[in-house]
Amino acid sequence: MAETPFTFRLVTPQRLLLETEVVSLQAPGSEGYLGVLAHHAPLITMLRAGRLEVRTAEGRTIRFAVTGGFLEVSRNRATVLADAAERAKEIDRSRAEAALLRAEKRLRHLQGGAESIRHSEGAEGDGPIDRDRALRALERAKTRLSVSGTERE
C-alpha cells in the first residue's frame, strides 16, 4: 500500500531549506521526538536542538540539524520554522568538533566556581557567558556532530 504524501517546508530566518512532498517527518519536540504522517491532527509545538528527518515520496531520507524553533501541522501540511538548520551534508565536522571542545571548556570553567567567564578563545563579542548559554552551545555541537555522522542523502 502506497504511503500518502503531505507538503513539508523547512524555513530559517535566512532561507527556505526544503519544500517538498514527504511521507513522514520526525522532529525533536520540546518533550521528545515526535512523528508526523499524512492527515495528522493540527499541532503547534516548540522544537529543541536535535535531528530533523524527513522521508520523501520517492523514498529518500533527508536529515537536518536544527537548533530550536516551531513545528506547525495543519491541513496536511507541516512547516518547521527553525532558529537555525543545516542539511547533514552541509555540516563542517571539524568546525562542529571545535565548537564542542569550546563548549566543554567553558562548562569546566563555570563548574570551577565562576558565575560567568569572558570570551577568551576569539569568539564574537566580549560579554559574559553563563551556564545556560554554554549548555545550549554544547547541545548544538553534539547535534551537528550526530547528524553529520549519518548516512548522506
Backbone angles phi, psi at 20, to 5 degrees: -160, 170
Among 23-32, 63-72, 88-97, which is the least confidently predicted range?
Answer: 88-97
Give the chain's count of helices (H) and strands (E). Answer: 2, 9
The pLDDT score that the predictor gives to residue 125 is 43
106-121: average pLDDT: 61
- What is the distance between the alpha carbons of residues 10 and 104, in angstroms, rounded to a whole number? 30
Residue 88 CA to its chain's centroid (Å): 10
What size, in residues, is the chain?
Answer: 153
Percent of the chain topping pLDDT 70:
84
The pLDDT score that the predictor gives to residue 129 is 53
Buried b (16+ CB within 10 A) or exposed e, 83-98: ebbbbbeebeeeebee
Q: Give the cell for residue 101.
A: 571542545
CATH fold for domain 6-87: ATP Synthase; domain 1 (2.60.15)
- Collect all residues with Cβ–Cβ distance below 8 Å to 109 and sequence separation of at least 6: 117
- pLDDT of 122 strictly over 80: no
State the pLDDT confidence band at 89, using cuts at 50, 70 and 90: confident
124-151: average pLDDT: 73
- pLDDT of 36 strictly over 90: yes
Q: 86 or 112: whose pLDDT is higher?
A: 86
Within a 13 Å sphere around the CA of 96, how many CA atoms are in the beta-carbon half?
19
The pLDDT score that the predictor gives to residue 153 is 44
The pTM of this model reads: 0.75
